[in-house]
Structure 1
Amino acid sequence: MAADLDLVYSSAAAQLRLFRERKLSPVEMLDAQIARANEVEPKVNAIAWQFFDEAREAAKRAEDRYMQREARPLEGIALAVKDDTDVEGKVTASGSVLFKDYVAPVSHPMVQRYVDAGAIVHMKTTVPEFCMAGVTKSALWGVTRNPWNLDYTPAGSSGGSGAALAAGMCTLATGSDSAGSIRLPASVNGVYGFKAPYGRFPTVVPWALAPQSVYGPMARSVGDLAMMYDLGNGPAPYDHTALAKRSLPTRLPDPAGMRIAYSPDLGYAQVDPEVRRNTEAALRHFEALGVAVEEVRIGWTADMVYDAFVGTALTSYWRNFIDNVVDLVTQSDDVSDHFRHMHAIATALPKGTVERAADLVAGMNREIDAIYSAGFDAIVCPTTAVPSVPAEHEAFVDELVINGVKVDGLTGWWLTHPFNLLYLHPIIVAQTGRASNNVPTSIQIIANRYDDVTAFALAAAYERVAPPLFSGNAFPDFRGRN
C-alpha cells in the first residue's frame, strides 16, 4: 500500500495541531513514516541506523501525554539525527569504519533539547566519511541518492538528513555545516536549512574551537525551521562559545521596503543557466513582496576563495581532526582515497598558509561588510552552481565542467563555503523550483551579522508566495536509472 503523501509530508506544526485535537495520534504518524521508509529506503539509502521499535514505544508515551494534557512543544514529532551527532546510547560512526562501534555516552546538546521537548529520534542519517565531501557515500553505508532523481547526490555532508526529509521519512532533521553541509543538502533536496552564526547553537569539543563549523536544523517549512531554532539555541555550561538564548518574534517583520543585494555568482563561480534562471525567478517573488532587489558585484576570485578556504579549514578544524584520524589507521581500507587526498593537501600546505588565508578572509569580509553598510538587509545568491552532481561523484577523480569551464571537483559546484569563513552571518536556504533533471535548486538568504530575524522574515515571506514543493504533483518520484 502506497504511503499517504499528504500525511508523511505534513509539517510539524500541522501534526502538533492534529495531535492536540485528537484527530491524529503520534503512533499513527510514526507508523506512516516508518511505512514510507520501508517503501523508499532501498532506493535512497539515507538511514544509517534505525530505532523503529524504540520509537514506537516513545510514540505511545507521547500519545499518553496528549491524553493527559502534558504534551511538550515537539511531543511525538519524528526527528532524524545526522550520524556525526551523538544520541545517547547509539552509535555515532560519522561514515567511518573506524568508528562503527563507537557508542555515544551522552546526546549532543541540540539533540537533547529536541528530545526534552518531546521529539522522537527514530533514525540516524548517512554522511560521507568524516563529513568531508559534498556527496554522501562511504565504505560503511554505500551511496545515498537524491529522491528527486536517484542518479544524483543528495549532497553532503548532511545528505542523509536532506534525503530523509525529501523522501517523507521524518518530519524534522538535524545537520551540521563546516563548508555547506546543511545548505547543500537543503538545496538539492528542496528543503529548508539554517546555517547559524557562530555561537547560536551550543556545540561540543573540539568544534567549539572551530567557528566555521556549526550545528543546526533542517525542515520542509520555514515555520518548522523556526520552531527548531527557538528550541535548539542557547547557552550550555560546557560550551564557552554558546550565546544567550534567543527567540524569534511571534510575528516576523514584513519585508516590504527591505533591500536585497543579488550576486549571481559571488564574483567567481561558474553557474549553470538553469540555476541562474530559477534564482532570478525567486528574486521576482521578492520584488512582488515589496523588496527592492539590486544586482551587486562582489570582487572575489576562484583562487582567492579556494586559498582562503583550504588555508583555513586544512590548517585548523579539519587539519586537527585529520591528524587524529591518521593516528588510528592500521590498514589500507580503514579510510577512503578521498580522505587520503584531503590529508595530502593538508600536509603539503606551505609555511605562511595560515597568515595568507587570514588576510584573504579579511579582504572577503570587507567586501561583504560594504554591501550591508550601503543599506542592504541581505545578500541573495544561488546555493549550488549546478542542480546537483552524480551520486557517485569522486571529487579528486571525476572532471567537473560548468559552462564549458573545468572547475575544482570538490568545491567548484558550491557557493556555500565562503560563508563558513565569514561565520557570523545567519543563512537560510530556500527552494527556487526544479531543474530539467527534476532536482530542486535554491537560494541562500544571507543576513547581516547575527541578524537572524531578517533571514527568517525574508524566508517566511518568500515561502508564502513561491510555488511549493511537496504538494500536488511536486513530490519526489525517484526517477533515474537506479
Structure 2
Amino acid sequence: MTGSHGELAHLDAVTALRAFRSLELSPVELLDAVVDQAGRVNGDRETGINAFTETFFDEARAEAERAATAYLRAARDEEPTAPLLGIPVATKEKHNLAGRRIEQGLAAHAGRVAAEDHPVVERIRRAGGIIHARTTTPEFSCATVTHSPMWGVTRNPWNLATTPGGSSGGAGAALAAGMTTLATASDIAGSTRVPAAFTGTVGYKAPYGRIPGLPPLSADWYRGDGPMARTVADTALLASVMSGQHPADHASWGPQGAAIELPEDPVGALRGTRIGLSLRLGDFPVEPEVEAATVDVATRLERAGAVVVPLDLPWTGDQVMRTIFAHFGHILAPAVERESGGVETLAPYAQRFIADARRAAERTSLLDSLALDAAMQRELAAAMAEVDALICPTNAVTALSAEGDYLNGIDIAGQHHDHYWQAHLTSPFNVANRCPVLSVPSGKAENGVPTGIQVVGHPHEEQQVFRIAAAIEALTPRIQWPTLTPTA
C-alpha cells in the first residue's frame, strides 16, 4: 500500500483493516509509521504536543509482528480475524493497564500500579488492538484543558498556543497528529466531545452504561467511557468493541460486540430525517465562527433532503451550572478531594472545581439535584418530541489557551461568564445521559483550530446518531490534517 509518511500515520482503521486482510499492508508498517510520527512531532512537556504519559513501542512492535503472521495464516486458511487485529490504540491514562502505573495526574497517586485491566482495555486487547501508548489528562480528568504538574502541558497540533481540550486532550492531540489510529476517552461533562471538536476528530458519548466502567464511580450516571477516532466509521468500530454488559459494572447493558451499522450511502439515507437545530441550547453564548459553521452544516443537511427544524430550549446557563455542580458536589468533587490527599496539593483548576462543587452541594441536596436533572431531561424530551435527532455546537468558543486555568471565568461573544465550562455545550447531555451523542467536525476557525457539531439522539438510539453523523462527515469538506514541524 503506497502513500506518504503522513498519509500512512493518519490512515483510518477501517481502511487499514481492509488492507491487512488483503495483505496490501502489514500491521508492522502501520505501527512503525505511527511510532515514527510520534518520535518526530510529539516534542517535550513544555513546548511540544506532549500527548503521551507512557509508551510501549517495543512491546507493541512484537504484537504487530504477531498480528502480521496471523493475517498471513488467515489469508491462507480463509479464516476470520479479530475486529481490531493489528490496529494501534492509545488509551487514556485513567483506563487501567494491569501492572502499569495508574496515577491520573495526581501527586498522591505517583507510582500507583493497576492490578487489572479496565473493561475497555480488556476488550480492546481481546479484539486484537495494539496498545502502544497512554494519553495525557488534567488532574483526575476534571478540566477541559489538559495540563498538570505531573505531565506538563498538552498542546493542540492545529495551534500549539491552544489546548486540545480536556479531559481526553491527549487522545485528541494524538489522533490529530497521527500518533495513533484509535484512542479511548471518557466523558462526564464533555471530556470526549470537547477535545474531539477542538482537534477535528470524532468523539462518542454513549448512553449511560452501554460501555462499561469501573466501580465505584461507574455508578455516577453522568459519566461514561468511550471511543475517539478520525472518522465516524472508526468510532463506530471501536464503540462496538467496547460496548456491552460486563460483570465489573453492574450498570452496563446490552450485547457485546454488536456492530453499529452505517448506511452505504449516508447522504441518500438522510432524506426525510427530521433534525432539530439549536445554536445556543437556550442562552449559551456562541462565538460567530462557531455559529456560522453550525449553520453551514445544517444548510448542507437540508440541501441533502433532511428536514431541519429550529428548536428552542428553555435552558439558561445558570440553570445548567446549578444542575451539574450540585451533582458534582455530591459525587465527583468529594472523590477528587479524597483521592488527592488534600485540596492544597491540586492544580488551581482542580481546586476551583472542588470549591465550586462544594458550595453547590451545600445549597442543593442530592435529592433536590435529582429534581434539577429531571427538569432538564423533561425539557429536552419535549423539545425533541417531533424530531429524530438534535444538532448543536460542541464548543461555544474557537479555542482555549493551552496553559489556562480560567480561575476568573471567561469572555464569550462579548459576555463574561463566571465559569469557563460555559464555553462548552456538552454537559446538558451528561444530565440527559441516556442520550447518545457524537461530536463530528464542522469546519475550522481563523485561528486554525477545528470546530465541532454535536448530534444528539433520543435515549439509547445509537444507530440514528451514527447515521446522521456519517452524513455530516460526507457532506462537510474534510480539512487536511495539520502540517507539523519535526521536533529536535
Q: By the TM > 0.5 criterion, same fold? A: yes
What residue in structure 1 maps to residue 53 of structure 2?
Answer: 48
DSSP-derived class of the 1:127 partner: coil
2:14 counterpart of 1:8: no
85-94 or 242-251: which moved more? Answer: 242-251
User: For residue 8 of structure 2, what is the amino acid of its counterpart?
Assistant: L
Please name the residue that 1:261 is paired with.
276
1:402 aligns with 2:412: yes
Q: 1:376 aligns with which of 369, 375, 387?
A: 387
Per-residue deviation, residues 228-276 of structure 1 (Å, max 9, x unmatched): 1211111112221111214323647722111111110111211000000
Q: Give yes or no for the alignment of 1:154 onto 2:164.
A: yes
8 Å Cα contact 2:262/2:466 also seen in 1: no
Contact persistence 1:151–1:390 (CA under 8 A): yes
The aligned amino acid for 2:244 is: G
What amino acid is the match of 1:18? A
Following superposition, the deviation at residue 102 of structure 1 comes to: 1.5
Residues 286-331 of structure 1 show CA distances to partners (whole Å, capped at 9, x for unaligned) of 1122111121111111110110010112212x033124225x24x9
Structure 2 residue 483 is matched with structure 1 residue 477: yes
Tell me how far apart the structure 1 counterparts of residues 190 and 474 of structure 2 sit (CA, whole Å): 25
One-letter amino acid matched to 2:51 = A
Q: Structure 2 CA distance, aligned partners of 1:179 and 1:34?
A: 31
Distance apart, 1:345 and its partner CA: 2.6
Q: Secondary structure at the match of 1:467?
A: coil
Whole-Å separation in 1 of the counterparts to 2:72 and 2:436: 39
2:62: which partner in 1? 57
d(CA) in 2 for partners of 1:274 and 1:250? Answer: 30
Alpha-carbon distance in 1 for matches of 2:448, 2:130: 31
Asked if the contact 1:382–1:415 (Cα under 8 Å) also holds between the matched residues in 2, the reply is yes
Single out whichever of 354-363 and 238-247 deviates more from structure 2.
354-363
User: Following the alignment from structure 1 to structure 2, what is the Cα–Cα distance between the partners of residues 75 and 81?
Assistant: 16
Q: How does 1:14-413 map to 2 (within 5 A)?
A: 14-42=15-43, 43-69=48-74, 71-245=81-255, 246-249=258-261, 251=263, 254-316=269-331, 318-326=332-340, 328-329=341-342, 332=344, 334-349=345-360, 350-373=362-385, 375-397=386-408, 399-413=409-423
Determine the C-alpha separation between the residues in 1 that align with 2:364 and 2:410: 30
> C-alpha separation between the residues in 1 aligned to 2:354 and 2:187?
20
Provide the C-alpha distance between the structure 2 equivalents of 1:185 and 1:67, rounded to a whole number of angstroms: 37
Q: Retained in 2: the 8 A contact 1:82–1:173?
A: yes
8 Å Cα contact 2:19-2:25 kept in structure 1: yes
Q: Distance in 1 between matches of 2:35 and 2:248?
A: 35
Which deviates more, 304-313 or 65-74? Answer: 65-74
Does the 8 Å contact 1:3/1:36 carry over to 2?
no
Instruction: Find the residue that maps to 2:210 and give its secondary structure.
Output: coil
For residues 247 and 366 of structure 2, the distance between their equivalents in structure 1, rounded to whole angstroms, comes to: 31
Moved more, 82-91 or 138-147: 82-91
Deviates more, 1:408-417 or 1:207-216: 408-417
Aligned to 2:473: 463
Q: Distance in 2 between matches of 1:422 and 1:180?
A: 12
Q: How many residues align?
A: 468
Given that 1:256 and 1:289 are in contact with CA atoms closer than 8 Å, whether structure 2 keeps it comes out as: yes
Which residue identity is paired with 1:386?
Answer: V
Query: What letter matches 2:401 in structure 1?
Result: P
Post-superposition offset of 1:342: 2.5
Q: Is structure 2 residue 436 aligned with structure 1 residue 431?
A: no
The DSSP-based 3-state class of the residue aligned with 2:330 is coil
Question: Which residue identity is paired with 1:271?
Answer: V
Q: C-alpha displacement at 1:347, in angstroms?
A: 3.2
Structure 1 residue matching 2:421: 3-state secondary structure? coil
Query: Distance between the aligned counterparts of 1:291 and 1:422, measured in 2?
Result: 25
Aligned partners of 1:113 and 1:421: how far apart in 2?
27
Distance 1:475 1:94 in 2: 29
Q: Residue 333 of structure 2 contacts residue 353 of structure 2 at CA under 8 Å; is this kept in 1?
A: no
Q: Please list every run of 5 or more consecutive structure 1 residues that lacks an aligned counterpart in the other structure.
A: none
Displacement of 1:478: 4.7
Quote how far apart the aligned CAs of 1:409 are: 3.5
Counterpart CA distance in 1 for 2:276 and 2:165 is: 26
Moved more, 429-438 or 85-94: 85-94
Aligned letter for 1:20?
R
Superposed displacement of residue 340, structure 1: 2.2
Under a length normalisation based on structure 1, what TM-score does the superposition of the two structures give?
A: 0.94
**Closer, same or farther in 2 for the Cα pair 1:372/1:404, shift >3 Å?**
closer
- Give the whole-Å Cα distance in 1 for the aligned partners of 2:276 and 2:318: 23
Rounded to whole Å, the distance in 2 between the matches of 1:468 and 1:451 is 26
Q: Which runs of 5+ in 2 are unaligned?
A: none
Q: Deviations over 1:448-476 (max 9, x none)?
A: 0101010011011221221113xxxx221
Aligned equivalents of 1:267, 1:442: Cα separation in 2 = 18
- Given the superposition, is the C-alpha separation of residues 356 and 237 from structure 1 closer, same or farther in structure 2, using an over 3 Å criterion? closer
TM-score by length of 2: 0.92
Q: What do the CA deviations read for 1:349-374 (whole angstroms, capped 9, x no partner)?
A: 4253434432222221121111232x
Distance 1:267 1:112 in 2: 40
Over the residues paired in the alignment, what is the CA RMSD in angstroms?
1.8
How far 1:3 moved relative to its partner? 6.5
Structure 1, residues 382-407: CA drift from partner, whole Å, max 9, x if none? 0000111111111214x521121101
CA distance in 2, matches of 1:61, 1:233: 26
